[in-house]
Amino acid sequence: MNVIATPRDYGLLGRDAKLAEEMGLASAQWYQCPMPRKRLKELMQRRDAPAILDTVIWIASFLVSGGLAYYFWPTWAALPFFLIYGVLYGSSTDSRWHECGHGTAFKTRWMNDAIYHIACFMIMREPTVWRWSHTRHHTDTIIVGRDPEIAVMRPVLILKVISMFFAIPQTWGAIKSIVRHAFGRLGDEEATFIPEMERGKVYLVARIWIVIHVAVIASAFYAESILPMLFVGPLPTMYGAWVHVMTGLTQHGGLAEDVLDHRLNSRTVLLNPVLRFIYWNMNYHIEHHMFPMVPYHALPELHKDLQPYLPRPNSGIIDAYRDIIPALWRQRKEPDWHIEPKLPAGVSPVTAAAE
Amino acid sequence: MGQWIEVCAAGDIDAEDVMRFDHGGQTFAIYRSPDDEFYATDGLCTHEKVHLADGLVMDNIIECPKHNGRFDYRNGAAMGAPACVNLKTYPVKVEAGKVLIDTGA
């Protein structure tokens, strides 16, 4: 059977933005699994220790991989260490940006803010812009015309998805955005989710970042070596992006748009401890969206509590991509088609706004 | 000055916690601080109208359960993005073991 494709308008000022409001999908009430208040309070408790330990290991990993890459440069022996360094720089920063942006990774506020800004710089996500875009992403998750963080738009362009693994569209978009902001200009769509009082910070950070990037490029010219640019700047963001794109696409890839039930538009995948360290447990993504103030270190516990209400999680990356690749391939031609997760018996999904 | 309205027994709210209270078409958040003082604010986050009673109380801060908007519930002050507008606060007293608020109505 042929499915007739419906053109989508992912712009935040476009037709589907208005349609989402008319349909009650904007800032709507989302389904939440039953969760006793006392238990949720336990799970939401903040702690510094897990994130401090992870951060010590994280920084040590940077120093060891970066140090060995520097030591072996310019021989091929440096390559595996750059690959590790790149994954730390361009991928592990995705989850640090994310968790610290939610303010849940550490109990101590300044620790969240410090790691947030460092991670933002490395992954080239402007801190104020992305704080607000992510706020919208949680309000209107995968609602067309409302969510500025829909990674794979439909109809799916496979070459674009492949290029995302090398952070090509993301980095190009970031460079254009940083330059625009450094000139004191905000995009029309950004203006829909960044309040007036926050915009000065956007411009200031863009200018600071440009100074840092120019200094790195100048140091490369001065040293007559590309080495400084392999350690800091867009290059490690790009050559190390593949792990965060691999894990990130599992979050919503191939699932429903325009629903008000995170079980239908988000995915939980069980991962090994190394990937969970890099990804800071964001593989428990349904759980995270349903209760975003539960810190990453408590998500495995939350997952256990919610299991009776959730679809079966994917057993790993390969299992997840067995679902995602055919779905994205099909969505090239059939953008209305999506994966329908099977909920436990007797549990009904919520697909529309309440009257 | 309006009328004092009974909310609940003082023991119904744990220390360092919050409870939702709906009255007269309005929703309020009633707090018990770690040092056993009671406070009341509007019940919805000024950022996106999420019920604060589902959030986390840490010392004198209430954190919105959706977007991490944070307020000092003693005076309603917004503590930073995404909470940019202060919460309205209401007088609270405890009499005969009951928590009462003055909604100003």
Q: Contacts from A55-64 at CB under 8 Å and sequence distance 24+?
A: A55/A115, A57/A277, A58/A88, A58/A92, A58/A96, A61/A88, A62/A88, A62/A89
CATH number for the region B4-102 comes to: 2.102.10.10
Is pLDDT above 90 for A263? yes
User: pLDDT tens digits, residue range A199-254?
Assistant: 999 999 999 999 999 999 999 999 999 999 999 999 999 999 999 999 999 999 99
- Predicted confidence at residue A348, as pLDDT, reads 73
Contact A195 B84 (CB under 8 A): yes
CB proximity A138 to B under 8 Å: yes
Q: Residue A49 domain-assigned?
A: yes
Distance, in angstroms, between B96 CA and closest chain A CA?
Answer: 26
DSSP letter, residue B64: -
Q: Residue A3 domain-assigned?
A: no
Contact B65 A293 (CB under 8 A): yes
- Predicted confidence at residue B40, as pLDDT, reads 98
Distance, in angstroms, between B62 CA and closest chain A CA?
Answer: 12
* Spatial contact of A141 and A147, defined as CB atoms under 8 Å apart: yes
Identify all chain A residues contacting B70, using CB atoms and an 8 Å cutoff.
103
Rounded (10°) CA dihedral A122, B68, A44, B94: 150
Which residues, 6 or more positions from A232, have their beta carbon under 8 angstroms from its beta carbon? A212, A216
CB proximity A41 to B under 8 Å: yes
CB proximity B65 to A under 8 Å: yes
Q: Residue A336 domain-assigned?
A: no
Q: Which amino acid is at A46?
A: R
- Quote the domain boundaries for residue A254: 15-331
- Predicted confidence at residue A1, as pLDDT, reads 45
Is pLDDT above 70 for B1? no
- Predicted confidence at residue B80, as pLDDT, reads 82
C-alpha span between A68 and A74 (Å, rounded): 11
- Predicted confidence at residue A349, as pLDDT, reads 72
Q: Which of A197, A198, A293 sits opposite B56 (nearest CB)?
A: A293
Q: Rounded to 5, what percent of chain A is helix, strand, coil?
A: 60, 0, 40
Rounded (10°) CA dihedral A137, A140, A145, A148: 0
Average predicted confidence (pLDDT) for chain B: 94
Calculate mean pLDDT across residues A256-264. 95
Contact A44 B68 (CB under 8 A): no
- Predicted confidence at residue A353, as pLDDT, reads 59
* Spatial contact of A337 and A1, defined as CB atoms under 8 Å apart: no
Is pLDDT above 80 for A177? yes
Distance, in angstroms, between A221 CA and closest chain B CA?
Answer: 40
Calculate mean pLDDT across residues A93-108. 97
C-alpha span between A209 and A174 (Å, rounded): 11
B29: helix, coil or strand?
strand
Identify all chain A residues contacting B66, using CB atoms and an 8 Å cutoff.
138-139, 292-293
Calculate mean pLDDT across residues B31-55. 95
Q: What are the Cα distances from residue B76, in Å, to A252, A332, A347?
A: 36, 49, 39
* Spatial contact of A101 and A135, defined as CB atoms under 8 Å apart: no
* Chain A, nearest residue to B16 by Cα: A41
The predicted model scores a pTM of 0.92
Total domain count, chain A: 1
Identify all chain B residues contacting A132, using CB atoms and an 8 Å cutoff.
81-82
Contact A293 B55 (CB under 8 A): yes
Looking at the DSSP bridge assignments, the partners of residue A269 are A314
Is pLDDT above 80 for A282? yes
CB proximity A293 to B under 8 Å: yes
Average predicted confidence (pLDDT) for chain A: 95
Sheet holding B77-78, edge to edge: B56-58, B61-63, B70-72, B77-78
Q: Residue A245 domain-assigned?
A: yes
Sign of the four-CA dihedral A52, A55, A61, A63: negative
Calculate mean pLDDT across residues A274-287. 97
User: pLDDT tens digits, residue range A22-35?
Assistant: 999 999 999 999 99
Calculate mean pLDDT across residues B57-62. 96
Selected residues 216-235 of chain A with any CB under 8 Å from a CB in chain B? none
Closest CA to A340 of A321, A354, A327, A322: A327
Task: Provide the token pair at A61.
Answer: 């990993």
pLDDT grade for A355, boundaries at 50, 70 and 90: very low
CB proximity A272 to B under 8 Å: no
- Predicted confidence at residue B13, as pLDDT, reads 96
User: pLDDT tens digits, residue range A147-169?
Assistant: 999 999 999 999 999 999 999 99
Calculate mean pLDDT across residues B68-93. 94
Identify all chain A residues contacting B51, using CB atoms and an 8 Å cutoff.
none
Calculate mean pLDDT across residues A101-116. 96
Distance, in angstroms, between B49 CA and closest chain A CA?
Answer: 9
CB proximity B105 to A under 8 Å: no
- Predicted confidence at residue A6, as pLDDT, reads 59
